[in-house]
Amino acid sequence: MRLQRFLARSGVASRRGSEDLMTAGRVSVNGQVVRELGTKVDSTKDVVTVDGVVIEAAAEAAYLMLNKPSGFLTTMKDPQDRPCVASLVPRDQYPGLFPVGRLDKDTTGLLLFSTDGDFAQAILHPKHYVWKTYEAIVDGLVQDEELDPLREGILLDDGRCAPACCHVEKYFEQEASTLVEIKIHEGRKNQVKRMLARIGHPVLALHRSYVGCLGLGDLRPGSWRMLTREELDLICIEKGAGA
């Protein structure tokens, strides 16, 4: 298989990240530095190293979902020893496990993990149209027409967003706040928060309920479970349909 695919499947990095490692001269095959993208390796014979560390071929990729609680960073290691999602998932059982995308420290909900870099790339790349569904409690009582700029594709400081699907779900009259459902297929940093702030309704609380067709169901905050083969097939069909 291609070297960058081997690295991604082994959990070293995403496919794009693996390509960056190669072009930086950090990857060797049988003792020779390999920079050329597309180089093929035989996982049963060739010895692949990254920064001198031998990379073992993954026997079988792992795929799971976590119901992320608030207060945890989406990282597998934090130099300041702050709480991070690595402590909530079976990283010892599945070496190379990494989060597929990210949720902010104060954002809760569905976070996927895998050891398969190609899977992560397919889920995260906006061209595949894997929709992420969020429930946002925002400041103020939102009128439906105020969401039109989001539906049309609102302009942020890093460019125009793709059109979002959104609607008002519930009003909290006493708190002067609104529950808004919003679906996007991009993954810019703080995107949902910035979109809603742009229309004058800053986010008070944010929860991701779905990634594509995958929902949390009765999975409790702080708990994880493996994805079923049926779920993997469904999300692969979905991303393929939008590509």
Rounded distance between C-alpha atoms, residue 154 and residue 168, angstroms: 17
CB 204 within 8 A of CB 139: yes
Is 118 in the active site? no
Question: In the 8-state DSSP scheme, what is residue 26?
Answer: -
Residue 13's CB is within 10 A of a number of other CB atoms, namely 19
Answer yes or no: are the C-beta atoms of 212 and 238 closer than 8 Å: yes
Catalytic one of 42, 46, 92, 104:
104
> What is the residue type of 36?
E
CA distance 137 to 223: 23
Pairwise CA distance, residues 111 & 99, whole Å: 7
Q: Residue 9 is inside which H or E element, if any?
A: helix 3-9
145: three-class secondary structure by DSSP: helix
- Residue 230, classed as helix, strand or coil, is helix
Give yes or no for a contact between 67 and 217, defined as CB atoms under 8 angstroms apart. Answer: no
Report the distance separating Cα 22 and Cα 101, nearest Å: 22
* Catalytic sites, residue numbers: 104
